[in-house]
Amino acid sequence: MKYTKKKNNTKLYLFLLPLIVVLLVMVAYPFFSNILYSFTDYSLIKPEKQFIFLDNYIKILGDNEFLSIFKNTIIWTVGNMVLIIIIGLTVGLLLDSDIKGKIILQSVILIPWVIPQIVTGYTWKWMMASDYGILNSILLKLGIIDGNFSWFRDGKMAMLAVILANVWRSFPLMAVMIYAKKRTMPKEWTEAAVIDGANAFQVFRYIVLEYVKPVLISTSILIFLWCYNAFGIIYAITEGGPLGATETFPVFIQKKAFGQFDFGFTSAMSILMMLSMLILYMIIKMLFKKRKNSGEV
């Protein structure tokens, strides 16, 4: 009996061995190499790399550019999360309603999500072009903008442009998750609330929202992690411009590493990016946990 169990365990480990090798080669090795490079002046321009300990980190933290990039990353992440939660929650509830065209909406809702980021980025860039963009043409005919308007001339408008593009791509995930959770809610709950005199807002606030809140929170945390690491859409639309107004951590790291070949500096920047993301993630988790313990969630 013991021999059979030991033999089965050996087979299990053999089946897992390819996965372990792939994880070591594709994840563990690059991760620890990146940590090592962050303590060196490693550059493709220089033939040798030297150990400089914390010089890269001191240089980054002492530069105002780091604070600017961190601010842009926060604005980008928070802006995306707010709009994705609002639009995703609204559309998710509409999918479970009796509105006309619901079947069509259910059929096409995931199309933006499955399109690659780089394709979405270039599509929105062309749509927002000042001279031939269809979006600008529609807004101009409606009298919302004038002929001199440009999404990419001003830093704030450029940030809004990349946020809108990413929201369009990402909100279907939130909508589908909300819809799936809402479908499992017993209809008797809302019917009983209406009989007891609850209005539409009270039904939404105290029954529907409370029921879908666990999925709303977990999906929001997932979206936070994705947005904080997002690269494709921003790079395709603005490449971090104008004048670094939309330059987030991933965009800056890519441009610095593969444009100036300074891998030591960008390795340190990526470590600081990871630490800042983990700190923000822990803060968000603590806030949700605190509200849950107080009975608000």
CA 66 to CA 79: how far, in whole Å?
20
95 phi/psi in degrees, rounded to 5 = -65, -25
d(CA 183, CA 208): 11
| Residue 158 pLDDT level (bands cut at 50, 70, 90) | very high
Q: Which of these ranges, 89-98, 154-163, 178-187, 282-291, has the smallest mean pLDDT?
A: 282-291
Across 134-151, average pLDDT = 89
Q: 214 — alpha (psi -120 to 50), left (phi > 0) or beta?
A: alpha
Rounded to two decimals, what is the model's pTM? 0.88
104-118, 202-216, 229-243: the lowest-pLDDT one: 104-118
Where do the H-state alpha helices sit in 115-208? 117-127, 134-141, 155-182, 187-195, 200-203
The Cα–Cα gap between 244 and 222 comes to 26
Residue with tokens 């279907």: 172
- Checking if the pLDDT of 179 tops 70, the result is yes
Q: Give the pLDDT score at 253.
A: 94
CA distance readout (Å), 218 to 40, 140, 222, 274: 38, 40, 6, 20
Sign, CA dihedral 250-254-256-261, equals positive
For 15-51, how does the pLDDT look when each residue is reduced to its tens digit (9 = 90+)? 888 888 888 888 888 899 999 999 999 988 887 888 9
Chain-wide mean pLDDT for the chain? 89
- Give the pLDDT score at 293: 61
Task: Tell me what pLDDT residue 236 has.
Answer: 94
pLDDT band at 4 (very low <50, low <70, confident <90, very high): low
Inform me whether the pLDDT recorded for 276 exceeds 80.
yes
Please give the pLDDT value at position 223. 93
Helices (H), the chain: 2-23, 29-37, 55-61, 64-95, 102-108, 111-114, 117-127, 134-141, 155-182, 187-195, 200-203, 209-228, 232-237, 249-260, 263-293
pLDDT tens track for 78-137: 999 999 999 999 999 988 887 777 788 888 888 999 899 999 999 999 999 988 889 989
Partners of 40 in the β-ladder: 51
Amino acid 291: pLDDT:
63
How far apart are the C-alpha atoms of 190 and 168, rounded to whole Å?
Answer: 31
Residues 6+ apart with CB under 8 A from 242: 152, 153, 154, 155, 158
Residue 2 has pLDDT above 80, yes or no: no
Contact 155, 240 (CB under 8 A): no
Identify the band that residue 296 occupies on the pLDDT scale cut at 50, 70 and 90. Answer: low
**CA-CA distance, 115 to 15, in Å (whole number)?**
34
